[in-house]
A and B are shown apart, each in its own frame.
Chain A
Amino acid sequence: MVELNENQVNFILKDIKEKGLPQSKITDELLDHLCCGVEVEMDAGLNFSEAYHKTIQKFGPNGLIHTHRESKSAKEKIAIQKKTKTFGSMVAACLVFLVLAVNAKGKAEISPVSKDRIYTHYSIENLIYFHVLPNSPVFATEAGEVSHIYRRKDGLYTIELETSNNKKLVYDLMTDLFVTIGSEIQKGEVMGKAGKCSGTHSIEKINFLFETKPGSPSYE
């Protein structure tokens, strides 16, 4: 039985990272799967390059990414279902009730702790409020990378998601996050749960999301 040497394993690891797989336990598992496949093909007489080509082709175009994403989301969906069992459904009842076009400029020095503060930090193009039941899952509306996570004074979080076209999406009043800074998020992926906010907002159950203009200043 052929056993891949370290260089060959490193080659595969480098290649799948270049194909877009993030560093994760699922990637580790897929790496082992690929290595096993290559070893079997090499046992059958192919050289390393041919064997790897044949093995990776079995996944199909974007198959690795798809498998990684589906595996990750399968886990997360179950985790969410468990956490939101008491609510009967994992589908958040979101009602968009306000879309604002705001163009607030200027920067404040202290960290963002409230809706008002965020207005002053961002050049906001669109602001969308959602009525969300506390503990409902919050889904990413677009794919992107988590560029910042801020902890608010009330213990809730603000997530900043940067999309491939440099747009920033901001999700506020979040809790029980499933993501960390640097996480690659797919559209529709659960990022965390809606937190229960209190105090300054007139409506108790509220979360909001807005987009900023490309290149506009973020929190500083």
Chain B
Amino acid sequence: MYSKELLKGTLRTIILNLLSENGKMYGYEITQKVKELSEGKIQLTEGALYPTLHKLEAEGFLTTETMNIGKRVRKYYTLTELGSEKSSSKIKEFSDFVATMQVVLGGFKTSDSK
């Protein structure tokens, strides 16, 4: 599990990228997908996920539709055109960041690197 601090700056990028690759998704599905892709190393908390989703929606990056399942209401999120652009730019920014960090941290030297 990675620390909250480390994940904090990447949550928007994760959400935007997931939606870009999977089309429409609902909140719980997003948490499960991230858990699966990261093999359990990234576990999104509800307290971080939903405020971020609602913020992205309010900013116009996501659009929503709801589906009634009995008494339950499932809310699906989809990228808007603006959201697709944002997703691309966030991924590019993050790749650059990782490359830069690699340089700054000297090629990610760890205790077990040769």
Using CB atoms and an 8 Å cutoff, list the residues of chain A in contact with chain B.
6, 9-10, 13, 25-26, 28-33, 35-37, 40, 58-60, 63, 66-67, 70-75, 77-79
Distance between A212 CB and nearest chain B CB, rounded to angstroms: 34
Distance between A199 CB and nearest chain B CB, rounded to angstroms: 35
Q: Which residues of A contact B94 (CB under 8 A)?
A: none
Distance between A26 CB and nearest chain B CB, rounded to angstroms: 7
Of residues 15 through 55 on chain B, the ones whose CB sits less than 8 Å from some CB of chain A are: 26-29, 32, 45-47, 50-55
Q: How large is the interface on B (under 10, 10 to 19, 20 to 34, 35 or more residues)?
A: 20 to 34
Known contacts A30-B46, A63-B46, A67-B46: does B71 contact A74 (CB below 8 Å)? no
Contact of B75 among A32, A59, A74 (CB under 8 A): A32
Q: Which residues of A contact B58 (CB under 8 A)?
A: 74-75, 77-79
Among B29, B46, B52, B69, max chain A CB count under 10 A is at B46
Q: Which residues of A contact B70 (CB under 8 A)?
A: 6, 9
Contact flags (1/0) for B50-71 with A, using CB distance below 8 Å? 1111110111000000100111
Using CB atoms and an 8 Å cutoff, list the residues of chain B in contact with chain A.
26-29, 32, 45-47, 50-55, 57-59, 66, 69-75
If A6-B70, A28-B75, A75-B55 are given as contacts, then 13 extra A-B residue pairs at C-beta distance below 8 Å, sorted by A number, are: A9-B70, A28-B66, A29-B73, A31-B72, A31-B73, A33-B50, A36-B28, A63-B47, A67-B47, A74-B51, A74-B52, A78-B58, A79-B58
Structural contact, A70 and B47, CB atoms closer than 8 A: yes
Structural contact, B54 and A71, CB atoms closer than 8 A: yes
Q: Which residues of A contact B55 (CB under 8 A)?
A: 74-75, 77-78
Q: Which residues of B contact A26 (CB under 8 A)?
A: 50, 54
Distance between A64 CB and nearest chain B CB, rounded to angstroms: 8
Distance between A85 CB and nearest chain B CB, rounded to angstroms: 13
In the assembled complex, the Cα of A79 lies from the Cα of B55 at a distance in Å of: 10
In the assembled complex, the Cα of A79 lies from the Cα of B60 at a distance in Å of: 11
Q: Which residues of B contact A40 (CB under 8 A)?
A: 32
Structural contact, B46 and A32, CB atoms closer than 8 A: no
Q: Which residues of B contact A63 (CB under 8 A)?
A: 46-47
Structural contact, A33 and B57, CB atoms closer than 8 A: no
Q: Which residue of A lies closest to B28 (CB)?
A: A36
Q: Which residues of B contact A60 (CB under 8 A)?
A: 47
Known contacts A32-B26, A75-B57: does B69 contact A67 (CB below 8 Å)? no
Q: Which residues of A contact B54 (CB under 8 A)?
A: 26, 71-72, 74-75
Among A10, A25, A35, A71, max chain B CB count under 10 A is at A71
Could you name 29 residue pairs across A and B whose Cβ atoms are closer than 8 Å? Answer: A6-B70, A9-B70, A10-B71, A26-B54, A28-B66, A30-B50, A32-B27, A32-B28, A32-B72, A32-B74, A33-B27, A33-B50, A35-B72, A36-B28, A36-B29, A58-B46, A59-B46, A59-B47, A70-B50, A71-B51, A71-B53, A73-B51, A74-B58, A75-B54, A75-B55, A75-B57, A75-B58, A78-B55, A79-B58
